[in-house]
Structure 1
Amino acid sequence: MADEGPQGTKRDFLFLATGAGLAVGAGAVAWPFVASMAPDAATVAAGAPLDVDLSPIQDGQIVNVFWRGKLIFVRKLTEKEVTDMKAVSLSDMIDPATFDSRVKKGHDQWLVSYGNCTHLGCVPIGHSGNYEGWSCPCHGSQFDAVGRVRRGPAPTNLPIPPYAFETDTKIKIGEEGGKAVA
């Protein structure tokens, strides 16, 4: 019986070592499959806030950027456009909105809006139509320079994404008041 003690200990150790080796091996085999289900870096980054440098944008210019796979218009309004857009009567609009509700206070020369028509999602053409803004080539909706729908079947204005000014020449789309939007 004195021989069974050490044999039992060796056997227990062999079972434990074999089990641990199998567990590590199974983990090594399973890891690539589990890792393949994680989103790639581009997908993770697509939801991250987007910094936009405004300094190269000229008066009247519209720049297109993408955030979370959505087209965003960034437009620097001219002084005339600001004056004209402030003077528009709310009764002339399909979806009434004041100029000040479309731009950030203190930065009224900048419009940041989603870039798809609110009728069927087409991309309106900039600097076209009767209202100094955009017109949709598919169904004829027209938006003014601050993205308010003025004519056509589009039911609402171009939506405003969450964004914040970090400096006078830099905005962060995907943040509002310095807090990231999920």
Structure 2
Amino acid sequence: MASVEHIETETPVAGEGVRRRDFINIAAVSFAGVGAVAVVLPLINQMNPSADVLALASTEVDLSAIQPGQAIKTTFRAQPLFVRHLTPDEIAKADAVDASSLRDPQTLEERTVDGKKQWLVTMGVCTHLGCVPLGAGEGENKGEFGGYFCPCHGSSYDTAARIRKGPAPTNLMVPEYKYTSDTAILVG
């Protein structure tokens, strides 16, 4: 009969192998996480606005020189901005329109700041294809509703810059702005 030798081997301590394996797994996952961040961070960072856009992130507009019935063109984030000082007649015409009958229903109150209904601030970009409407400059065609007229495709806006006729789907956009004094606003 052959004898079977029993060889005793040293067995590792119960938790030592598991701890070593856990350390290797944690180190590998951490290394992969740092690598993922190193790859993703530049991709996300390139989506941030450039320095020249950030410099134009807000625009201050002096309202003191704008007479009732007059509008000015300025720029905000490299796009035209219209600031119009509405006359009592223009306000009455805007209020006389039933907002529910409009394509993009908004009242003049919804498009202006409380207590400053005479000041209408809108982006000067037609919502159809991005042309610059007429009506903010002296002697320009204001369209049949007395607001703005887009010469590219014939969209007409009323005195509250609401779309009334033509292919534009929505009203001229009102940007975020606040009054810094009675005669100045900060857009953006």
Q: TM-score, normalised by structure 2?
A: 0.68
Query: CA distance change for structure 1 residues 43 and 91 in 2, over 3 Å: closer, same or farther?
Result: closer
1:72 aligns with 2:86: no
Correspondence for 2:144 among 118, 130, 139: 130
1:167 aligns with 2:181: yes
1:136-170 deviation per Cα after TM superposition (whole angstroms, max 9, x unaligned): 11111100111100001000000110100111111
Does the CA contact (< 8 Å) of 1:163 and 1:171 recur in 2?
yes
- Give 1:102's aligned residue: 111
User: Secondary structure of 2:186's partner?
Assistant: strand
- Give 1:45's aligned residue: 55
Query: CA distance change for structure 1 residues 44 and 99 in 2, over 3 Å: closer, same or farther?
Result: closer
Aligned-partner Cα distance in 1 for 2:153–2:53:
33
Aligned residues: 134
- Give 1:141's aligned residue: 155
User: Secondary structure of 1:73's partner?
Assistant: strand
- Give identity over the alignment, percent: 46
1:95-122 deviation per Cα after TM superposition (whole angstroms, max 9, x unaligned): 1111110111100000000101000001
Code of the aligned partner of 1:119: H
User: Secondary structure of 2:146's partner?
Assistant: coil
Stretch of structure 1 that moved more, 126-135 or 74-83:
126-135
- Give 1:58's aligned residue: 67
Query: C-alpha displacement at 1:67, in angstroms?
Result: 1.2
> Which one has a bigger Cα radius of gyration?
2
User: Secondary structure of 1:143's partner?
Assistant: strand
Query: C-alpha displacement at 1:77, in angstroms?
Result: 0.3
Q: TM-score, normalised by structure 1?
A: 0.70
Task: Give every structure 1 segment of 4 or more consecutive aligned residues whose post-TM-superposition deviation is greater than 6 Å.
Answer: none
Query: CA distance change for structure 1 residues 55 and 122 in 2, over 3 Å: closer, same or farther?
Result: same
1:115 aligns with 2:130: no
Query: C-alpha displacement at 1:44, in angstroms?
Result: 3.8
CA RMSD of the aligned region, Å?
1.3
